Structure 1
Amino acid sequence: MTTMSSAVRNATAAWLAASLNRPEDAYTQWADRRLAVLALGRRFCAFRLADELVHAAGNATGFPTPTTILRTLAGPVIHDPRGSRYYALLPPAPPGPDLGPHATYLGLGHYIGVPRVGDDQQTETWSSYWAIPMSAPANLCDPNRVLGLIRAGTAALDEEADA
């Protein structure tokens, strides 16, 4: 669990829940399943990043673990170990350029499973968790840093494929 104050944790959960027309649905889902399906596009959007892209970007740039490179994004990242992917949360924006097969922009009209605020440890259940916790309401990843990670990982994967 993160060490953020209960006031910040509650404010962050409220901010995330407000992505839904009925925010109370998020609280019910977090209580029942520890994961709420939240709408993208109004408060935040996401880049879905394949595990291998994050690992390749880390190796190419000298970061020894996924966590260390994900911290450079300066915002929250969810890990879905069952699906072998990460979700970097960032401010809403129009879709970007095609970024290849390892990264997908998710905006308006998409939904993602968001763990309870404070669930930042992987468990045996393969449930999604905060790889990089959200530190405060609206504190999101820097889009330019996310694109840099995607480019570095894609270049490294392309180089591996050509070798």
Structure 2
Amino acid sequence: MSTAPEKAQNQAVSAWLAASLNRPADAYTQWADRHLAVLALGSRFCAFRLADELVHAVDAATEFSTASTILRALAGPVIHDPRGRRYYALVPPAPPGPDAGPHATYLGLGHYIGVPRIGDDQHTDTWSSYWAVPMPAPGTLCDPNRVLRLIRAGTAALDEEADA
């Protein structure tokens, strides 16, 4: 059960995310109908799309670590799409940086992603997207440098795996 401050925080985060659309009410309708809203990237936030195998390669190469711990180290919100086998690390808007490699893609202006309803932070049997790491406050996003380090570590681990 949520407390009043948690509900207020969730409402503030939802409002901040919904404002990525020209008509924020559309996000609320989509969350109510489908638990997932298609939001625009580029103005409020962007995302790195990370293949599951990239994150799990870092997990396997890191002693005493889990994918959840690795994702929390990004210091911001991460969405997991189990059907598409992808993670989305939400980052501040910026021009695309260097090529992220074969297992990650930077998504910015002109892209859209499915964003789960705030509070949907548990994997279910429905294969629906959920918050692997919830957004703790409006505007709190992953550190892009940490995301790039994760991408480099995962790519190196996958390359080493392929060479073995």
Whether TM-score is above 0.5 comes out as yes
Unmatched runs of 5 consecutive residues or more in structure 2: none
Q: CA deviation at 1:63?
A: 4.9
Matched, 1:107 2:103: no
User: Matched residues in 2 for 1:2 and 1:126: separation?
Assistant: 24
User: Matched residues in 2 for 1:13 and 1:112: separation?
Assistant: 15
Find the counterpart in structure 2 of residue 143 from structure 1: 144
CA distances 1:50-104 after superposition (whole Å, capped 9, x unpaired): 0000011122233532111001000000000000000000100101111211000
Find the counterpart in structure 2 of residue 95 from structure 1: 96
User: Matched residues in 2 for 1:55 and 1:131: separation?
Assistant: 14
CA distances 1:137-156 after superposition (whole Å, capped 9, x unpaired): 00000011000000000000
User: Matched residues in 2 for 1:62 and 1:37: separation?
Assistant: 36
User: Matched residues in 1 for 2:153 and 2:62: separation?
Assistant: 8
**CA-based RMSD:** 1.4
Unmatched runs of 5 consecutive residues or more in structure 1: none
- C-alpha change, 1:2 and 1:96, in structure 2 (3 Å) is farther
Structure 1 counterpart SS, 2:32: helix
Find the counterpart in structure 2 of residue 54 from structure 1: 55
User: Matched residues in 2 for 1:117 and 1:160: separation?
Assistant: 36
Find the counterpart in structure 2 of residue 65 from structure 1: 66
1:6-155, aligned counterparts within 5 Å?
6-155=7-156
How many pairs align?
163
User: Matched residues in 1 for 2:76 and 2:114: separation?
Assistant: 17
More deviation in 59-68 or 76-85?
A: 59-68
- C-alpha change, 1:60 and 1:36, in structure 2 (3 Å) is same
Structure 1 counterpart SS, 2:83: coil
Letter of the aligned partner of 2:84 in structure 1?
G
How high is the TM-score relative to the length of structure 2?
A: 0.96
Maintained 8 Å contact 1:50/1:85: yes
Structure 2 counterpart SS, 1:27: helix
User: Matched residues in 2 for 1:61 and 1:138: separation?
Assistant: 30
Q: CA deviation at 1:2?
A: 7.8
Maintained 8 Å contact 1:2/1:120: no
- C-alpha change, 1:94 and 1:153, in structure 2 (3 Å) is same
Maintained 8 Å contact 1:2/1:118: no
Q: Report sequence identity in percent.
A: 81
Structure 1 counterpart SS, 2:70: helix
How high is the TM-score relative to the length of structure 1?
A: 0.96
